[in-house]
Amino acid sequence: QVRLLESGGGLVQAGGSLRLSCAASGRTFSSYAMGWFRQAPGKEREFVGATRSSGITYYTYYADSVKGRFTISRDNAKNTVHLQMNNLKPEDTAVYYCAADSRGVAGPIEWSYWGQGTQVTVSS
């Protein structure tokens, strides 16, 4: 079992910044694929970004809607992944979730584990 716990959400003005964190359990965190998703009221959950290992390198990629504003980083020594959000817009308002695939294999990611979510609200 992998347990995930998000933190760092809150209320921020448009143009401001916020840093989310996701702490994960497990002894092989460095091999996990880690992702961020969000869900706004009345909308389906959408992909934000993710990072995964190929054994030697990590690949990090983002949805077009956040590219250039959001940055994912990971601290393997602390089993933690971060989502740095800059130049926030009201349309970024959502519950943000982190997710994990702990299999450490190649191929399509299976997001088997999810955190409880943290609320991000951006005011105009």
Per residue in 74-114, pLDDT tens? 999 999 999 999 999 999 999 999 999 999 988 999 999 99
Residue 16: CB partners within 8 Å, gap ≥ 6?
A: 88, 122
Please say whether the dihedral angle defined by the alpha carbons of residues 3, 69, 43 and 124, taken in this order, is positive or negative.
positive
d(Cα 69, Cα 87) in Å, to the nearest integer? 6
pLDDT tier at 1, thresholds 50, 70, 90: confident
Per residue in 22-77, pLDDT tens? 999 999 999 999 999 999 999 999 999 999 998 788 999 999 999 999 999 999 99
pLDDT of residue 56: 80
Whether 112 contacts 100, CB under 8 Å: yes
Assign residue 63 a region: left if phi > 0, alpha if psi is -120 to 50, beta otherwise? beta
Report the amino acid identity of residue 117.
G
pLDDT of residue 55: 77
pLDDT of residue 106: 87
Whether 68 contacts 15, CB under 8 Å: no
Q: Cβ–Cβ contacts within 10 Å for residue 14, how many?
A: 13
pLDDT of residue 3: 97
